Each structure stands twice: as structure tokens, then as C-alpha cells.
Structure 1
Amino acid sequence: MRSLPLVTSLLLSSACATSTVQNPPASSLVVAAESDSMIWNAVALSDEGSVFVAGPRWTGSTGPSLARLDAEGQPHPYPDERWNGWQPGQDAREAFVNINAIHRGPEDSLWVIDTGSPDFGGAPLPGGAKVVRIDLKSGQVLRVYPLGSEIATPTSYVDDIRLKGTRGYLTDAGRPGLIVLDLETGAARRVLDNAPATTAPTDRPIVLEGKVLHAPDGSALRVHADPLELSPDGQWLYFASLHGPWSRIETRWLDDASLTPEALLAHVEPWADLPPTGGTWLDTNGDLYFSDLAEDALKKRTPEGRIETVVADPRLHWVDAPFLAADGWLWLPVPQMDRVALFNGGVARTVRPIQLLRLRVR
């Protein structure tokens, strides 16, 4: 592991009504860890400061699906080798098939989202699609929430999760929709299926390095319900396709299983017109940090709706799901998703080593 000098403070100029560009020195970005094998798209820290990273199998990553980084930045399978040792043909119920996201929850727990399919766009294997809760203090798996075929459908790509009390809210980037998970009973419901707010638009392509990103079949890649965040008070769920724009809905309506699909849809509101993003973090002040894929930049949307550029740097090429630690450091995994072989005719353009960066934002 190597690092760059830390800048002890970031000077942010006053935001104007539109967009304020602030570019701190390049040295503000600190390299926390690097890997020549593991392609991580998600990061989380425990209360004690242990760093966990994860990434999808289809990127070509050859390291663990979920790993804890040691003091030297080297990955070790977490919670153990068995959970990370799945091979085609084996039971998918208690092993990681394809992790798309990890999320630090209350009581120092780690929530792991397994799409259940080793292939991008493939149908989940029987028992493969699941949410796994791990106790970070003991390293033990506390519970596995299976997502049956009526929830994680053959065209689903279960993407990420946010938590409020006894509810978990998930996005489905493959079959447009949200999933509401009862954390006590394990029962799950699909909501807002194929709604405009959960469906990727056709007129907002994902552009990186000036080029539209294409799916393996040659069409412009469309990623349905993907990023999501909860307001600090838990009243609102904000969500979008990867492309934007964002919508919001009060969580009380999502929690009401008696509502018809039409009645629930009527409670969806426009929220923010943000560009295609790899990942987001909403802090307790209501500031939304997000990566702007087209600009290799980290930006921030204030509660008043102002957009500020925190830092722009070529190293921030497809920053994915960030994590804001209690000490004010924002951790930024950089998997360079658009450069993997899947989206480039079988030839990877990934610039190695894969980096995990961090930036002081408080």
C-alpha cells in the first residue's frame, strides 16, 4: 500500500445558484490501497476502522468476492474462504456468487447484496440472489435473506440496499423496480415495477472519455434502478436509474403493502436532475456526494439543490459506491467499470493497479 501526502484542509468556495467548481490539489486524493487482481466497486468501514471491499465476479476480478484489507492493504477473504469459494455447479445458497454492493448498517453490521448470477445480465441461480448480514464484531454471518424467483426474477440484477428500522429497500437494475424487505420476517415485495422512475431513459446515455458505453450486444447500456439513499430522518427514499434523473417517495408509502401499484406510483415525486453516476453517499447534513462519470469528478448536491464540484481528477474514472467515515474521510473505490473486458469486445482496458482512494471532506 502506498499513499500520497495528505492535505489537512479543503478550501471550498461559496456555492452559487448553479454549479460551483472547486478543484483541490491532486494531492488531496490519498491512495489507501491498490490491487493488481481484485476489482472492487464497493467499500465499507467498521466501527473499529477495518476496511472491507467487494466487487462483481463478471469484471474479471480474481481476488475474493468480499475482503478485509490488512494494514498493508492486502485483501483477505471475509468472513471466510468458504463464503468466497463458490464455483460453478456448487450450492449458491451460502456462498457469494456475485456481490454488487456492501452497506454498513446499524450495530456495526455489514449487509452484502448478492445478485445470484455470475454473469452480467444472467438469471440468478437457485438460492443465489440474497442479502447477507454479517456481524463485524464477531465476523459471523447473522442471517441470510433469500430473494426468490418472484423477487429476483430471471432478468433482475439486485443492486444495492438502504435500511430503516425493520425495513430494507433495494434497487433492481435489471428488471426496473424496487424491493421492500421485511428484516424481521424475511418477506419481500416488489414495488414500482417498470415505473418511469425506476426505468433507464433512452435519451441519457452513459458517456465516459467522450464515448457512449455499450452493452455486450452493442446497444447503448441501460442500467435501471441503481443508486438510492435515505434522508437522514428516514422519511424519504431517493432513487434513480444510473442515468438519472432522481425521484423520491416517502417511506411510509413503501411500507404500506395495502396500496395498489397505481396508488403507490401516485406518491412518487421528481427530486433531482443528476447526471449518470457510479455511486453516491448521503451524509447526515443532507449533502449528497456523487461521482459524475462523464467528468471523472466527485460532486456534491446540497440540501438546497446546489451542485458543487469537490474534486475532478483522471484517477476518478468511474468511482463507484463511496463510504463516508466518521472521521470525515470519504473513501472512493475506482473499479473503472467501463474498461472491463465485458464492455470492450472481450479485451480489458483497465488501468492497473485498481485503486481505493480517500478524500477529506470534513
Structure 2
Amino acid sequence: MKPIPYLFLVALLFVSCKQSTKEPKEISVTTKAPEVTTVASFSGQQVTGVTVTTTGRIFVNFPRWRKGVTNSVVELSKGIETPFPNKEWNSWEVGDKIEAQKFVGVQSVVAFEDKLYVLDTRSPLFQEVLDAPRVFVFNLITKALEHTYILTENAYHANSYINDLRVDKKNNKIYFTDSGNSGLVILDLKTETFHRVLDEHSSTAAEQGYLTFTDGKWMNTVHSDGIALDTKNDKLYYHALTGYSLYSIPTKLLVIEDELDLEKAVTLEAKTSAPDGMIFDKNGNLYYADLENNKIMYREPNGSVRILLEGDKVRWADTFSIYDNHLYYTNSRINEVTADISEMEFTLHKIALPIN
């Protein structure tokens, strides 16, 4: 979802992480060919994020990785793309003056209850942050802006790319990954204060500076990227994009001031494929991509890993959302992109969840 073109590798901090069980074998679901439905296709507009509300409304976003992005956030309905909340919010273009109520570089959209959380990196074209990263919170019914949470200087770096978020209602927090400068960011919704944890820690740092595809290597170093909240077990999962290690940490410990104590609580859950976004379903299955092999995987609560889908319908499965027992996913085709994307199609699909 986020090709951050930094040429350096962050030095890994060699601290001990609690180890999980041995790496499970992948199991392919082969009872019948899964039916994949194309929900939408976007010509010349590179989609990354998707979220589906509890009532079935679909929102997608388009990061400003290049000039010519038509809209940052749209709602999809019956084949029609409607700028959300309106066209004015989506009217900023590279070179314009930064404005408080215009999207600059939207990386993620998350629908939670009756709100839409829009994560704006404020980092167009992968440049340094032009303005503090922020989250715009819109009322889904009225489309009104209800709140803006602006990251404070202690929560991000000049080369940060605040990537994705999860809302934790139980603990009244929002958790973020930073894929530009490795680390997690925590927002306390009660006090509206931010703090940064596991900054340049081995668990949030990229393990290498490339991914390998059939047509060659995709050269990029992308740190903590995918994030998923296990609400049943109160654990936050996260994963570097250019890496093969899935980590977790108990959410109750994300208030600890002592960084060393926090580092000791990090658990290496599994060695996995290199993914982008991640999501849990209600049964505790964790969905993520195998980017290098055009697959969508899921890890069961017992640690078994299965292949949900593979083949040409999976082309960098970027972001996931779940609605009506279906997994929605975007194909952002990041490894295929060259300078000109005007002739490329980027898609949103859905597939039935496994029965278990």
C-alpha cells in the first residue's frame, strides 16, 4: 500500500522478543474455485484503502503519490464514485497552499460505528511531511467533520509516513503504524494526546530493502505497515511490509512509559509472507497478503495458515475490509507501477469468507 522510497535501512535493535510456536505449513483451500466479484475498477487512479460500513456503504481512497489524483476519498454506490465529504475537500493538488480542510495525502480510510476516520499523511509524492499528519473524523450520516486529531511533534518524524490505523473502543485509543520511520503511534482519545512507541525497534523495522517478484525485485524499504486489532484477546498485531515477521503486543501495555518494559512484551507470533494490510474476522482469522506470490492468506487462531485465494485476481492485495461475510480487498499493483499509470486498471474485489 505504501512504497516509501528511502534508501537506508534502519539499524535493528537486537532485543529479545517472546517467541511463538514453530512456523505452520500453508494449506490451500481446494474444495472449489472461489468466486471473486469485481466491485469496482479505477482507470489511471491507484486505489489503496477500502472500508465498508456496517450498513454496506463502501469508501475507498487514493494516495497522492503522483500528480493527477482526481479524488482522495470517494464513496461507491451503484457504480458511481462520489467525492466524500464533497469535491472541495478533494480539490487540493500538488503545489497548492496547504489548507486545514482539504485532503493532502490520504493513505487510509476506516469506518468505525457511525464515523469515518480519514488518515492524511500530509506527505504527497513521498516528500517530507509538509504539515503534521492528522486524522479527520466525519459523521457518516451528516458528512460533517466532527473532529481533527493532529499528531504532535513527539509522535512523528520528518520522514514519517503514517500508514494505517485501528480504533480500540475498549481502551479508548487509536493505534497507527509508521512505515517511513519505523514505530507505532498511540492516540489517547480521552486526553487527545499522542505518544510514540517501539521507535526504530527491531519489531517495527523492515527486515530488508526489497521484495522479489517473478519479473524481478521491487526495491523499497517499508517499515511497520500492516496493523490489526484482536479485540477478543486484546492484542495489537503489526508487520513491516518488507519483512516476514508478524508481531503482537497486549493493548493494555501500550500505556507503559518505560520503553524497555514495552519491548519485553513484544511477541513474535509467526514467520509469514510479506504482506501489506491486515484484518481479523469475527472468528479470529487474520487475513493478509502474500505480495510476492499473488495470494491472500489467513491465519487461524490455532496458528494454521491457509490460502484463501491466489492467481491473477490478486495483484498486490493492499487493504481489506469485511462486510456480510465477504472479504473486500483492493489491488494496488504497486510492484507493476511505472511513471505513467494512465492505462492501468486498479480494482476492488470481494470474496466469501471461509466457513470455520
TM-score range, shorter-chain basis?
0.7 to 0.9
Q: 2:275 aligns with which of 259, 274, 277?
A: 277
How many Å separate the matches in 1 of 2:320 and 2:40? 14
Deviations 1:310-333, CA, capped at 9 Å, x for gaps = 1112121101111111x1111111
Q: How does 1:32-71 map to 2 (within 5 A)?
A: 32-58=39-65, 62-71=69-78
The 2-side partners of 1:24 and 1:86 are apart by 48
Q: Is residue 75 of structure 2 the alignment partner of residue 76 of structure 1?
A: no
- Match for 1:335: what amino acid? S
| Secondary structure of residue in 1 paired with 2:155 | coil
The one-letter code matched in structure 2 to 1:312 is E
Matched, 1:123 2:128: yes
Contact persistence 1:164–1:234 (CA under 8 A): no
Matches within 5 A, 1:181-196: 181-196=187-202
SS at match of 1:308: strand
Alpha-carbon distance in 2 for matches of 1:149, 1:80: 30
| Paired residue secondary structure (1:119) | helix
Name the TM-score, length of structure 1 as normaliser. 0.85
Question: Which runs of structure 2 are paired with 1:106-185 in the superposition (5 Å)?
Answer: 107-120=113-126, 122-127=127-132, 129-165=133-169, 166-185=172-191
Name 1:252's counterpart in structure 2.
Answer: 252
CA contact (8 A) 1:232 1:286 kept: no
Unaligned runs of 5+ in 2: 1-23
Partner Cα separation in structure 2 for residue 355 and residue 39 of structure 1: 9
The 1:273–1:231 alpha-carbon spacing in structure 2 relative to 1, beyond 3 Å, is same
Matched position secondary structure for 2:284: coil
Q: Residue 254 of structure 1 contacts residue 264 of structure 1 at CA under 8 Å; is this kept in 2?
A: yes
Match of 1:104 among 102, 111, 115: 111
Q: Distance in 2 between matches of 1:24 and 1:338?
A: 31
* Runs of 5+ consecutive residues of structure 1 not aligned to the other structure: 1-16, 215-220
The Cα shift of 1:185 comes to 2.8
CA RMSD of aligned residues (A): 2.0
Contact 2:163 2:176 (C-alpha < 8 Å) held by counterparts: yes
TM-score calculated relative to the size of structure 2 = 0.87
Tell me: CA distance 1:23–1:55, structure 2 relative to 1, closer, same or farther (3 Å).
farther
Any runs of at least 4 consecutive aligned residues in structure 1 with deviations exceeding 4 A, and if so which?
Answer: 23-27
Amino acid in structure 2 at the alignment position of 1:338: N
Which amino acid in structure 2 is aligned with residue 76 of structure 1?
T
Structure scoring higher RCO (CA < 8 A, sep ≥ 6) equals 2
Tell me the secondary structure at the aligned position of residue 57 of structure 1.
coil
Could you tell me whether the CA contact under 8 Å between 2:66 and 2:125 is conserved in 1? no
Provide the C-alpha distance between the structure 1 equivalents of 2:190 and 2:144, rounded to a whole number of angstroms: 18
- State the identity %: 25
**Number of residue pairs matched?**
328
